[in-house]
Amino acid sequence: MKRILVWDIPTRLFHWLFAASFAAAWLTSESDEWLSFHAFFGYLMLGLIGFRLIWGVAGGHYARFTSFLYGPRAGLSYLRQELSGRGDRHIGHNPAGSQAVFLLLALGLAVCLTGLFVQGGEEQQGAVAGWLGFTLGRMVKEGHGFAANLMLLVVFGHLAGVAMASWLHKENLARSMVTGTKEAPEGTPASKPYRLVGALLLVAVAALGVWWFFYALHQPVEKYLMKDTADLGAPHVAFVGAALADDPKWREECGSCHMAFHPTLLPARSWQKLIAEQDRHFGADLALDAPTREALLAFMVNDAAEKMSTEAAFRINRSIKPETTPLRITDTPYWTKKHRDIAASDWLLPQVKSKVNCAACHQDAEAGTFQDAAMRIPR
C-alpha cells in the first residue's frame, strides 16, 4: 500500500465551495434583509455546477463521471452490502456515493434554476426578469423550496454514508477530501493536482464575489453590515423595482401630512372610499376641492393594487377579500403577516416611532416599490 493523490485540487475546491454555498443559501433563505446574499450564493452554486459538469468530462481520473458511472441498481446493491459489512473499499467514489454525487448535482441545478425564475417572477429581477408573472413566480417558489428540502435530505444521507464507510473501512473519507490522498495498492493510478485549474477556479469565485458585492450592490459591504443604516440611502443591492407612475398633485396633497403612499398599496375601492370620505379622513377634513378630488382619484384608481405592478401590490391584492374595503395599509392581511415577527421594541425605535413610517425601514418606500432586498430595520 502507498499513499497517492486521488482527489485533485479542483475537485476538492468544488466539493467544499459547493457545500458552503448551499449551507449559506439555506441559512439566508428566510430573511429579506439577506436576500442579496441568498441570491449570490445561488449564482455561485450554479456556476460551480457548471464547472463540475465540465470537469466531470475533462478532469482528473477520479473526477471524471466515467470513473464512477454506476446505475441505481448497483448503488442500492452496494448500500445493502455496506449495511451488512461486506462492501468493498473503493479508491474513488463507490456505487452508493456516486448516486449521491449525481443526485446532488441534479437537485442543485433544479434549486438554482427554480431560484432564478423565482427571482425573475416574484421579484422581477435578475437574468430572467419579466419572463414570468407574479402568480407563476409564486408557484415556482414552491418547487424551489421542495427541491431545496429534498437536496438537504440527500446531503444528510451523503454524510451518513461517508460516516458509515469511514467506520467500516477504517479511513477518514472527509479528511481525504481535504488532503486529496488515500492509501492504495501499488500500481493504482494517481491523479494530477491540476494546480492551475484550481487557482483559476478560486480567481473566478473571488471575481464573482467582488463584482456582486462591490459593483452589483449599490453600497459597500461594510455599510450594509453597519448597525445604524439610517444613512445608507440607496438599497444595498441592485434589485431596484420598475419606476411607478407618479403625480405631482398626489405628492403635494398626500405628502403634506405624511408619506405619500403609492396607489399600488391598496385596491381601487379603498381609494374611492377614502376620497369620498375626504371630509372625515381619520378625524380630519382634507378640504379638497372637486377638481383636486377628481385628479387624485383618477391617479389612484388607475394605479391601484389590482394592476399588480409590484410584488407588494400583487400580494396585498391577493390577501384582501373582495367583500372588504380596508382604509389602512396596515390593516391588510399581507401587511399584518409580513410584519408579525417584528419585535414591539423595534416599532419604538427613534428612527421608526410609527407603523406608518415606512421609509424608516424600506429604502424605496418613497418610490412605492417595496423591494424585499431594500428593507432593513435600523437597530
**Structural domains counted in the chain:** 2
Q: How far apart are alpha carbons 46 and 38 in whole angstroms? A: 13
Residues 62 and 168 in one domain: yes
182, 6 contact by CB (below 8 A): yes
117, 131 contact by CB (below 8 A): yes
Residues 20 and 149 in one domain: yes
Of 192, 216, 240, the one marking the end of a domain is 216
Question: Does this model's pTM top 0.85?
Answer: no
Q: How far apart are alpha carbons 337 and 339 in whole angstroms? A: 6
Residues 276 and 173 in one domain: no
Torsion sign across C-alpha atoms 303, 307, 308, 313 = positive
158 domain-assigned: yes
354 domain-assigned: no
Residues 18 and 157 in one domain: yes
pLDDT values of the chain reduced to their tens digit, one per residue, 379 residues = 899 999 999 999 999 999 999 999 999 998 777 888 899 999 999 999 999 999 999 999 999 999 999 988 998 898 888 888 888 899 999 999 999 999 999 999 999 999 999 988 888 777 887 788 888 988 999 999 999 999 999 999 999 999 999 998 899 999 999 999 999 999 899 999 999 999 999 999 999 998 887 776 654 444 434 444 444 444 344 466 778 899 999 999 998 888 899 999 999 999 999 999 999 999 899 999 999 999 999 999 999 999 888 889 999 999 999 999 999 999 999 999 999 988 888 888 988 888 889 988 888 888 888 888 778 788 6
Residues 10 and 159 in one domain: yes
113, 126 contact by CB (below 8 A): no
Greatest distance between any 2 Cα atoms in the chain: 95
Q: Phi and psi of 191, rounded to 5°?
A: -85, 160
Residues 193 and 259 in one domain: no
Of 306, 321, 340, the one marking the end of a domain is 340
Q: What is the CATH number of the domain that holds 129?
A: 1.20.950.20
Residues 200 and 287 in one domain: no
Q: What grid cell was written down for 363?
A: 429604502
pLDDT digits (tens, 9 = 90+) for 9-68: 999 999 999 999 999 999 999 877 788 889 999 999 999 999 999 999 999 999 999 999
355 domain-assigned: no
Residues 80 and 146 in one domain: yes
Question: In sequence order, what DSSP letters do the residues of 5-23 get, joined into one string?
Answer: E-S-HHHHHHHHHHHHHHH
239 domain-assigned: no
Interhelix angle 95-121/72-83, rounded to 10 degrees, is 120
Residue 295, domain extent = 248-340
206 domain-assigned: yes
- What count of other Cβ atoms lies within 10 Å of the Cβ of residue 90? 18
369 domain-assigned: no
Residues 206 and 154 in one domain: yes
59 domain-assigned: yes
pLDDT digits (tens, 9 = 90+) for 172-221: 999 999 999 999 999 899 999 999 999 999 999 999 998 887 776 654 44
Residues 8 and 48 in one domain: yes
Residues 144 and 286 in one domain: no
Question: Which of 249, 246, 252, 221 is CA-nearest to residue 236?
Answer: 221
- What count of other Cβ atoms lies within 10 Å of the Cβ of residue 87? 20
Question: Which of 335, 304, 297 is CA-nearest to residue 319?
Answer: 335
Residues 170 and 314 in one domain: no
367 domain-assigned: no
